[in-house]
Structure 1
């Protein structure tokens, strides 16, 4: 079978599709992955053939704000929301749809698997008369910015003659990597879900020294605010100093957007790493303090680790809500994110037996979901 995968050009949108794409290739299917060229090296490291399509998020919003010298926080919220809706709901889908048309004509795939943030894949498949399957990256969360985006997507879909509810992805089969117990109940009730175990993906690499085989009697806390602009030095500083005040070791993944020098001198029990293979690290930690990105949230569920969520934007707030509602952790918002609050909340989570029971149950739920290989075996029925 010939399968084309496509996602937005962002790690948080691309990584969730890689386990299924790699499993499909390993099963002997002809697989090509289409996204912006900036992310082709990542795909090639995974052994996947690539095709160029779409824009990066930076390119898209560079177009929308071309010539605008204001910083993000200087833009009124209503104007920013409108731009986000236009970017994700009109500009990016149109660019992907246009670029995918010749790829589909040449490759003639039997199935298009599109990441839900990239409806341009669904639109291109619809125009070409090719069956399509949506692939999620986490909890499907209504409200907030999602409404601005969904409105634009619905308008574009109607123009193209694609009928059905855009919030249920026009009735397409939906590969759902979110454990059912924390997925939005209304989505579980209405979507054509194809459950898939969330398998963490990270660039190949070695764990920092001393992680494997360490003494588990001393807790290890992992702190990350992701790979995007959410990773701000002042936020990391408050969080790491709160964590460092505990009798624990703290491993901080600073990411590419943090000026490490701005963190100043860190306590002796804090270790800074520019990058870690997160999927391999999570089973070794006792608490994850993070921004609420879907990959980290689901990875912590799978590893059975309590979470302290410090959301900054996008779907991070609803992910934080899901963690709290499940009893798997806590969240700190806005002005609540102080050094003292981080220390007190992390201390409670590390010792709370009820939370420990919840995260163990979530890990068992994730382990019981179908593997990528099992889902690949189902794909022919959707053609």
Structure 2
């Protein structure tokens, strides 16, 4: 049977969709592996999945320096266009340069029939190209595609950074290999993505969130006993301590001791005490939790928004950096929620926005329409079928030409 290799960055939001698709490929009887810097990823893989970790000969000080670097880049506070420049110059190009040799070594030894590179691990596409292995691309941030139309100058600059690395690694030419012309999977629906003319190798299977049940303790009894409206508030795992204190101070001012039950994703020690109507955990079983809620407040991270809309729930989106402004724009354009400005919103703005999404049924109806578009897109099974077709075509070509 065909062998598939997912190449992923050490970022949960980029890894999770591949776990769902990989589980489906395994169920079809294929061999599936993940190439990653994160050796802890093995604990998250579906049954039968293999981890092929990138390892280099390093002393302890070098390993510590790498760990500290990853910690710094995931917690640096940057905003707007500056965050895109930072993402490429300080994160993606150095990360891809660092991963490239390890990816090449693993692909040579494991010899997959198809590679699936994350759109931010463009070194995976480069390595597959050099070794003559067919590759597809997974796009967990659709804004990266929409940027071609919405922000063409910035997209042109991004492409130049990628081509510069390609040339450094010995790949001639002026064409980016970051996304595959065989198949590029964009993990949303066409309806949520919006209008844009694209080549037919861009496919939209919708969000892929199956086969990911988290074993995280949670006070389900307390949630069950709540008669008040219930909301989840999360701004992701990045950004520093003071940054989160400032944000959640406004949250407390908006909802503390009020009539809404608030589940907060944050470090419980951020404040000495939290309001009695708050349930605070650093990690929550989000997929299991969402069906029991009435709305979500978040930073417009694509995965959180997709999971929320998959449950037909309205949102208040407060984008901070990277692709979040684009995702927030799509939420508003589709009528699924209210957007606030991160730097300017006050507690009354947040309280009023939550009241609006909870009390005006149009937001919920719009969210349910997007949920239906996700269902119609096909999800995990459709994404796996498209990937399976690549290997079928490859074997047919080998048979016909062999």
TM-score of the superposition, structure 2-length normalised? 0.81
Partner Cα distance (2:273, 2:19) in 1: 38
Please report how far the alpha carbon of residue 289 of structure 1 lies from its aligned counterpart in structure 2 after TM superposition: 0.5
- Kindly indicate whether the alpha-carbon contact (under 8 Å) linking 1:157 and 1:163 is maintained by their aligned counterparts in 2: no
Residue 190, structure 1, aligned to residue 199, structure 2: yes
CA distance in 2, matches of 1:371, 1:65: 34
Structure 1 unaligned runs (5+)?
A: none
Shift of 1:138: 3.4
Cα deviations by residue, 1:95-151 (Å, 9 ceiling, x for unpaired): 222111111111111100111111111111111100000011132342497665433
Moved more, 89-98 or 297-306: 89-98
1:177 to 187, 202, 218: 187
Matched, 1:62 2:62: no
Question: Aligned to 1:239, which of 234, 246, 251?
Answer: 251
**Structure 1 residue aligned with 2:101:** 98
Aligned 1:81-92 pairs, distance under 5 A:
82-92=85-95
- Which of these residues, 134, 148, 160, is aligned with residue 151 of structure 1? 160
Once residues 223 and 4 of structure 1 are traced to their aligned partners in structure 2, the CA distance between those partners, rounded to angstroms, is 35
In structure 1, the residue matched to 2:11 is 10
Q: Could you say if the C-alpha distance between residues 248 and 212 of structure 1 is closer, same or farther in structure 2, counting changes exceeding 3 Å?
A: closer
Q: 1:272 to 1:16 in 2, by over 3 A?
A: same
Q: Which string of whole-angstrom CA distances, capped at 9 and with x for unpartnered residues, describes residues 217-243 of structure 1? A: 531100111122267122122124313
Q: Output the CA distance in 2 between the equivalents of 1:338 and 1:54.
A: 47
> What corresponds to 1:221 in structure 2?
231
SS in 2 for 1:205: coil
C-alpha distance in 2 between matches for 1:295 and 1:65: 22
Q: Structure 1's 63 and 272: CA in aligned 2 closer, same or farther, altered over 3 A?
A: closer
Kindly indicate whether the alpha-carbon contact (under 8 Å) linking 1:163 and 1:170 is maintained by their aligned counterparts in 2.
Answer: no
Other-structure match for 1:35: 36
- Pair 1:22-2:23 in alignment: yes
CA contact (8 A) 2:136 2:180 kept: no
Residue 60 to residue 118, structure 1, CA distance change in 2 (3 Å): farther
Mark the runs of 5 or more structure 2 residues left unpaired by the alignment.
Answer: 57-62, 392-402
Identify which range, 289-298 or 198-207, moves more after superposition.
Answer: 198-207
Instruction: Show the counterpart of 1:253.
Output: 265
Q: Deviations over 1:188-207 (max 9, x none)?
A: 53351233231334533354
Q: Distance in 2 between matches of 1:355 and 1:251?
A: 21
Q: 1:46 to 1:88 in 2, by over 3 A?
A: farther
Shift of 1:276: 0.8
Question: What is the match of residue 160 of structure 1?
Answer: 171
- How far apart are the structure 2 equivalents of 1:48 and 1:110? 16
Contact 2:137 2:180 in 1 (8 A): no
Q: Distance in 2 between matches of 1:78 and 1:163?
A: 24
Instruction: Measure the CA separation in 1 of the matches of 2:83 and 2:186.
Output: 29
Deviation at 1:160, TM superposition (A): 1.3
Does the 8 Å contact 1:237/1:263 carry over to 2?
no
Deviations 1:313-340, CA, capped at 9 Å, x for gaps:
1111111111111111112113332111
Structure 1 residues 324 and 172: alpha-carbon distance in aligned structure 2, compared to 1, 3 A threshold: same
Q: What RMSD in Å do the two structures reach over aligned CA positions?
A: 3.2
- Which one is further off, 115-124 or 132-141? 132-141
